[in-house]
Amino acid sequence: LEATKPPDAEPKAKAFKPFRRELKLEVVKAVRHELKRKCKRRPEAYRRLRREVKLLDTEPEPKSEGAKLSEAEAKTPELPPEPVQPAYVPLPSNRAAVVRELLKGASKVAGNINGLGGCGKSSLAEIAAQPNVVPMFEHLKREAKRKRKREVAAKSGPKSKAAKLLGTDERMTHRGWLACIKPPLSPFEEERVDHVMRACTARGVADVGNITLTRAHFVRLEPGGWLSDRIVNAYMELLQAHFNRFTRHKVWFTNSFLAAALYLDRRTLNYGRVSKWLGNAVDGGIMSLAKIIVPVNLDNSHWFTVAIELGPKTITFYDSMAGEVDSGLAEALKEYVALQVEQETGRRLDMSQWHVVKPVGLPQQTNLVGNSGWWVATTTPWG
Amino acid sequence: MSDPAPAPESKPKVKDDTAGATEASNHIQIHVVSQSGDDVFFKIKRNTPLSKLMRAYCSRAGVDISAVRFMFDGSRVREDMTAEQLEMEDGDEIDVMAEQVGGQ
């Protein structure tokens, strides 16, 4: 993995795009780790992995602004006052810290990676911590295109493998993807990746918390695939693990079923169904939390995130689709907070002071068929 | 050689003695509530993997097991878990949630 940095002039919105590709890259990395474990006679694979990790560690923070923000947050436990219409702030970059931390030792949440030698725990979690990924893939794609143009112009010389794969169709195949990753996989490694990604359909590739991810789920990360709740919830588990470690004020990442059980399934408030969820997940109860992050699946077609901020008393909809917020859901979430507080303290919150907002300046989907799933993952300022 | 002979004799005895006492408390009733609010209940032993219950529910409801998620108090129930592990009590509810996809 040559950490090919994008030109700095790259527009901000573009920097978020290759997120899912990076995750795929991590799958490959995980497979390589398996190789290391299974065939000790190929130590170079392991060495390469170490080098990659080091590279990631030493990578300069792409956004100093964001880094400063994270430092400031770490120093002051109290929440910074937020305006009613908060401007969009990209997530601070702290991937290096996470990677280091996770490689150190046992991470309970993301442990038990079947057949992957335990390295999957760094892979998914690393992604979780870092949306400002290096758009390496974009870079390679551009290069391959340029190369192909040159070759077509010259009408001679064999095409590179990547150019061949990229040239005919924009849509990437799994194999084409792999061919684009530097350093290219050896045939032996490719065989193994294929084995994991194709052959063992039913076997779990990685266990994240209680969620088993199989090949079928990773395939959803291909460009053009829709995200399933498993991927989203696994991601939430990893974010939870990350934030429990690295942040002072507490954040609860709910699973994607909270909104469904609370309101969306029956379009009426069902507090009884979810009354125990928070108590089970969070030690100190709702009063100890600063934020609740609720991923929402709308009618099996669209993902977005709602952040409930208990300090500034706002419910923020991070939705890539333009339009009004779902007022029913907003009210249900307000009521959820009120009832949860009432259940714990016996006192009723005055919810009239709460605001429902959709921040200005959010990157929006340009078309109806954008990938809102990853959009959700990459643009919500989790902390 | 003579050792194995008395063992089978005493074994059923022990089983008979304890079976009546433990089985009553060992079985718990678990409600499985679907998204539309339908409630089905199952009796299951505390130490039986819940996959048995899941499969029974799915065949009864006519859904594929991979298309639904079983949740207990907000966390996912794995097939190999037992009621004992989850500290379930008699009358507890398991939520069945449909698979969610979306994005494009």
Q: Is residue B36 part of a domain?
A: yes
Rounded to whole angstroms, the Cα distance separating A262 from A339 reads: 12
Percentage, residues of chain A above pLDDT 70 = 32
- Which of A222, A240, A263 lies at the terminal end of a domain, its last residue? A222
In tens, the pLDDT along A31-73 reads: 666 656 655 555 665 566 556 555 544 444 444 444 444 444 4
Q: Is residue B84 part of a domain?
A: yes
Q: Do A267 and A209 belong together in one domain?
A: no
Q: Which domain holds residue B87?
A: 27-98
Q: Which of A213, A231, A265 to mutate to test the interface with B (most CBs of B within 10 A)?
A: A265
In a domain, A30, yes or no: no
> Is the Cβ pair A211, B76 closer than 8 Å?
yes
Asked if residue A337 and residue A272 are part of one domain, the reply reads yes
Asked, for residue B51, whether it belongs to a domain, the answer is yes
Task: Say whether B76 and A273 touch across the interface (CB within 8 A).
Answer: no
Structural domain count, chain B: 1
Q: Give the H/E segment covering residue B20.
A: helix B6-26
| Nearest CB neighbour to A227, from listed B33, B95, B102 | B102
Assigned domain for A50 exists: no
The answer to whether residue B85 sits within a structural domain is: yes
Structure tokens, B54: 């899941």
Q: Are residues A199 and A293 in the same domain?
A: no
Write the CATH number for B36. Answer: 3.10.20.90
Residues A248, A320, single domain; the answer is: yes
With residue B94 as reference, give the H or E element that holds it: strand B93-98
Whether residue A357 sits in one domain with residue A231: yes
CB-CB neighbours of B101 under 10 Å:
20
Does A79 fall in a domain? no
Mark yes or no for CB contact A260/B102 under 8 Å. Answer: no
Query: Does A152 reside within a domain?
Result: no
From the number of C-beta atoms within 10 Å of its C-beta (0-12, 13-18, 19+), residue A112 rates as middle
Q: What's the confidence (pLDDT) of residue B49?
A: 92
Do A243 and A359 belong to one domain?
yes
- Please, which residues have CB within 8 angstroms of residue A208's CB and are 6 or more apart in sequence? A109, A110, A124, A234, A237, A238
A274, A298, A369 ranked by CB distance to B74: nearest: A274
Query: Which structural domain, as residue segments, surrounds residue A275?
Result: 225-377
Q: Do A241 and A316 lie in a common domain?
A: yes
Are A212 and A310 part of one and the same domain? no
Q: Are B36 and A265 a contacting pair at CB < 8 A?
A: yes
Same domain, A358 and A237: yes
Instruction: Answer yes or no: is A147 within a domain.
Output: no
Instruction: State the helix-helix crossing angle for A229-246 and A120-129, rounded to 10 degrees.
Output: 80
Q: Are residues A205 and A294 in the same domain?
A: no
Q: What pTM does this model have?
A: 0.55
B76 to chain A, any CB pair closer than 8 A? The answer is: yes
Position A81 scores a pLDDT of: 42
Asked if A226 and B71 come within 8 Å (Cβ–Cβ), the reply is: no
Q: What does the mean pLDDT of chain A come to?
A: 59
Measured CA to CA in angstroms, residue A282 lies from A103, A181, A206, A276, A382 at distances of 26, 40, 25, 10, 17
C-beta atoms of A210 and B104 within 8 A? no
Question: Which residues does chain A have within 8 Å of residue B82's beta carbon, measured at their own beta carbons?
Answer: none
Reply yes or no: is the peptide bond before residue A184 cis, omega within 30 of 0: no
Residue A32 has a pLDDT of 66
Distance between CA atoms of residues A110 and A213, nearest Å: 11
Structural domain count of chain A: 2
In chain A, residues with a C-beta closer than 8 Å to the C-beta of B104 are 224-226, 369-373
My answer on whether A201 and A278 are in the same domain is no
Our CA-based measurement puts residue A222 at a distance from the nearest CA of chain B, in whole angstroms, of: 12
A369 vs B contacts (CB less than 8 Å): 104
ipTM of the complex model: 0.71
Kindly state whether residues A270 and A352 are assigned to the same domain.
yes
Contacts of residue B99 in chain A, CB cutoff 8 Å?
Answer: 228-229
CATH number at residue A299: 3.40.395.10
Q: Using the beta-carbon criterion (under 8 Å), do B100 and A276 form an inter-chain contact?
A: no
pLDDT digits over A318-374, tens only?
A: 776 667 788 899 999 999 999 999 988 888 888 888 888 876 655 555 433 334 444
> A129-138, A175-184, A311-320 — which one is most confidently predicted on average?
A311-320
Task: Of A162-171, A190-199, A260-269, B75-84, give the lowest mean pLDDT range.
Answer: A162-171
Within chain B, how many helices (H) and strands (E) appear? 2, 6
In a domain, residue A143? The reply is no
Nearest C-alpha neighbor of A30 from the set A138, A149, A113, A152? A113
Residues of chain A neighbouring B36 (CB-CB closer than 8 A): 265-266
All residues at 6 or more sequence positions from A247 whose CB lies less than 8 Å from its CB, including other chains? A73, A74, A383
